[in-house]
Amino acid sequence: MTPPPVIQTQGLSKVYKTVNALKPLDLIVPQNSIFGFLGPNGAGKTTTMKLLLGLIRPTSGSGQVFGLDIVRESVEIRARVGYLPQEPRFYEHMSARETLSFTARFFFKGPEAEIHKRVDETLDMVGLTEKADRPVKTFSGGERQRLGIAQAQVNYPDLLILDEPAASLDPLGRRDVLEVLGRLRKHATIFYSTHILDDVQHVSDTVAILNRGELAAYGPIQQLLAGSSGMVYSLTIEGNLQAAQNCLAGQAWITEIKDISLGKTPATWLVRVSDEQQAKDRLLRLVLENTDVTVVQFGRKQYELEEVFINIVEGGSHGG
């Protein structure tokens, strides 16, 4: 039996005066998934996260986290959530240790020894043990980000909501964040936003792309990558290119042939097809019928998430 989703929204929207920050959003985040939430600046990602946490109120629609209503039962939801805001802010006079202890005490009454132990563990997890007793006002941006990640998970949350968790981090820090996300998925659902698409592609199960407050694409990442822009095959050939093109152009199920090689040899074409079965059965055979054409590489086009993202955001097309 499929466990219930951790996050579910029905037409959730937010309008600020005349600005449509989030158009009606229907979203489902499965349990124990790593859900990547993408979009250009101002797309509505942070707005969505704040709506789920009760920091702002929806203009219309509804949402549930753990089956609890995001408006009426917000305090109960937050008892099981760890949140990392974009540009985390803390009390500057507190040290990292004091900040984590303060955070932990919203969830744990005691025992004191266990709270101290948990604080030490999370400091160690983010590499801040040596700086634990320095006031936060002396921290760099990257150190604050690490502290933000630590305070988000100090309470063993069932759901982590992370707004740009890898921001301000160097490549090693980013790698550590991805490792932490991978480890945490056994115990928690992770809902995070980022601009670093490479990370999303490697870590996430499901992706949603917001654009101008609207859900532009949504689904398992492999489906998104494969299904974007229709069925496209990549063909790298050398030899008599004109003969190959003539052969393919006459086929009704081939809708477009695009040369992306920029004059280089061998040539690489993207062949868009309308009938996948025909493409599987006949595309390669047709090209190979020309004895003066050599096929170097052939296969279904695997899109990088960045290509999908740019196509959707700039082209306005929908994928997934």
Partner 1 sequence: MAGNQAFEMVQSRGWSGGLRNLLRADFGKWFRTRLWWVQGLIWTGVINGILAGVLWSSPEGPDAGTGLMLYSIFSAMFPSIAIVIIMQDAIVGEREAGTAAWVLSKPVSRYAFVISKLLPNLVGVLVCMLLFPGVVAYAQISVAAGQLLDPVRFLAAMGILWIYLSYYLTLTLMLGTLFNHRGPVIGIALGLAFGQQILFGLAPFLLKVLPWTIAMPAGDSDNSIVGAVLRGLPLPDMTPLIVTSISIVVFIAVALWRFEKEEF
- Residue 165 sits in the site that holds partner 1 (CB under 8 A): no
Question: How far is it, in rounded angstroms, from Cα 275 to Cα 73?
Answer: 49
Is residue 160 within 8 A of residue 65, CB to CB? The reply is no
Closer to partner 1 by Cβ: residue 150 or 221: 150
Closest contact distance (angstroms) between CB of 22 and partner 1 is 13
- Residue 111 sits in the site that holds partner 1 (CB under 8 A): yes
- Residue 1 sits in the site that holds partner 1 (CB under 8 A): no
Candidates 76-84, 205-213, 288-296, 304-312 — which segment interacts with partner 1 by CB under 8 A? 76-84
Query: CA nearest 7: which of 132, 189, 203?
Result: 189
Q: Determine which residue in the list 62, 68, 107, 278 makes contact with partner 1, applying CB under 8 A.
A: 107
Question: How far is it, in rounded angstroms, from Cα 300 to Cα 235?
Answer: 9
Q: Determine which residue in the list 72, 91, 198, 299 makes contact with partner 1, applying CB under 8 A.
A: 91
Sign of CA dihedral 26, 206, 82, 187: positive
- Residues 6+ away with beta carbon under 8 Å from 282: 251
Closer to partner 1 by Cβ: residue 59 or 223: 59
- Residue 42 sits in the site that holds partner 1 (CB under 8 A): no
- Residue 90 sits in the site that holds partner 1 (CB under 8 A): yes
- Residue 76 sits in the site that holds partner 1 (CB under 8 A): yes
CB count in 10 Å sphere of residue 267: 19
Q: Determine which residue in the list 79, 247, 284, 295 makes contact with partner 1, applying CB under 8 A.
A: 79
Closest contact distance (angstroms) between CB of 117 and partner 1 is 8
Residue 111, Cβ density class (10 Å: 0-12 exposed, 13-18 middle, ≥19 buried): exposed
Q: Determine which residue in the list 20, 102, 212, 276 makes contact with partner 1, applying CB under 8 A.
A: 102
Residue 287, Cβ density class (10 Å: 0-12 exposed, 13-18 middle, ≥19 buried): buried
Closer to partner 1 by Cβ: residue 160 or 216: 160
- Residue 147 sits in the site that holds partner 1 (CB under 8 A): no
- Residue 188 sits in the site that holds partner 1 (CB under 8 A): yes
Residue 160, Cβ density class (10 Å: 0-12 exposed, 13-18 middle, ≥19 buried): buried
Q: Determine which residue in the list 28, 56, 288, 295 makes contact with partner 1, applying CB under 8 A.
A: 56
Characterize the bridge pairing of strands 34-38 and 60-65. unpaired
- Residue 214 sits in the site that holds partner 1 (CB under 8 A): no
Question: How far is it, in rounded angstroms, from Cα 68 to Cα 53?
Answer: 11
Q: Determine which residue in the list 1, 75, 249, 252 makes contact with partner 1, applying CB under 8 A.
A: 75
Is residue 192 within 8 A of residue 48, CB to CB? The reply is no
- Residue 53 sits in the site that holds partner 1 (CB under 8 A): yes
- Residue 105 sits in the site that holds partner 1 (CB under 8 A): yes
- Residue 258 sits in the site that holds partner 1 (CB under 8 A): no
Characterize the bridge pairing of strands 189-193 and 34-38. parallel
Binding site for partner 1 (CB under 8 A): 50, 53-57, 75-76, 78-81, 83, 85, 87-92, 102-103, 105-111, 114-115, 118, 155-158, 186-188
